[in-house]
Amino acid sequence: MGPSRLSPGSGSRPGVLDRHNGAVRFRVLACDFDGTIATEGVVAPATLTALERVRRSGRQLLLVTGRTASQLEMVFGRWDVFDRLVLENGAVLVDPSAGTERLLCAPVSSRLQPELHRRGVEPLAVGRAIYAASVRHVEVIREAIRYLGLSLELVVNRDGVVILPEGVSKLSGAAAALFDIGENAAACVAVGDAENDVPMLALVGCGVAVANALDGVKAVADLVTRRPAGEGVAELAAALVADDLAAELAAAGGMGAARH
C-alpha cells in the first residue's frame, strides 16, 4: 500500500505546482523537532528510517529547532541524519559532518539573565544566543526587556517563549542553512507544528503542517499530513520520494487556485 494522501492546507499556493520540465523540484526537506519529528523528545525508528530514505534519494535534510545544542543532545543523538542543524530558533548553524557550529547573530545581552533571575523567571534555558522560559513568564520577560531598554524579540512556541535578537527566526536560520548547502528556498519543503514554524513555512517552496499542528500553522500550510508528528513526517517523506509531491500538490493547487 502506498503512502496516505496528504490533504491540502488552507494556505495552498497554485504557483507551487510548476514542475520544471519533469526535473526534481524539491531537493531539501526541513523539519522541526518537537511535535514534528519527535513526540515528547523521542524520534520513532520509523520516522528516522523515512528521513534516511529521503536522504538516499539524493535530497538534503535540515533540522530546524528552537532547542539549544545541550537540550537536543539530551534526547536526540542522530545528528548525522541531517546535512545541517539550525538550533536556537535560527541563531546557530551546525554542520554535523564537519563538526562545526556557527553563531548566526550577536547573542542576547548578558544583562538580561540576572534581571530575569531577580524577577523569578525560572527555569531559564540559556543558549549561545538566546534564552527560553515558560510562556507563563512572558509578561514578566517583556517588563524586564523594557526596563533594560533592550531591542529583543519574543517568540511563543506552544507552552514556551524564546527570547531572541531582533531579526532572528526559523526563517533566517533556514535561509542561512539553505545558502550553506547551495540550495534555495523554492527547492525546499518544510514541515512544522507550532507558531515559531510559520515564518519557515512561508519561506519555502512547500510548507507542510503535521496533523497535530496548531490551527494557525495549518492556515498557512500548503499541505497537512493525515497523521500526527513523526508519523506525519514519514507520510510526507514517502510522498516526497515517490513523486516529488506531484499528486499531493496537484490536488492542493486546484483548491489554492480557486481560493486566491
Domains of the chain: 24-104+168-253 (3.40.50.1000), 112-165 (no CATH)
pLDDT 10s digits, 33-65: 999 999 999 999 999 999 999 999 999 999 999
pTM: 0.89
Q: Tell me if 91 sits within 8 A of 155, measured CB to CB.
A: no
Cell numbers 531591542: residue: 151
**Distance in angstroms (rounded) separating the CA atoms of residues 41 and 74:** 9
Distances in whole angstroms, Cα of residue 122 to Cα of each of 134, 135, 136, 150, 189: 8, 11, 10, 20, 36
Parallel/antiparallel/unpaired status of strands 223-224 and 206-209: parallel
pLDDT 10s digits, 104-147: 999 999 999 999 999 999 999 999 999 999 999 999 999 999 99
Cβ neighbors of 185 (< 8 A, separation 6 or more) are: 174, 175, 178, 203, 204, 205
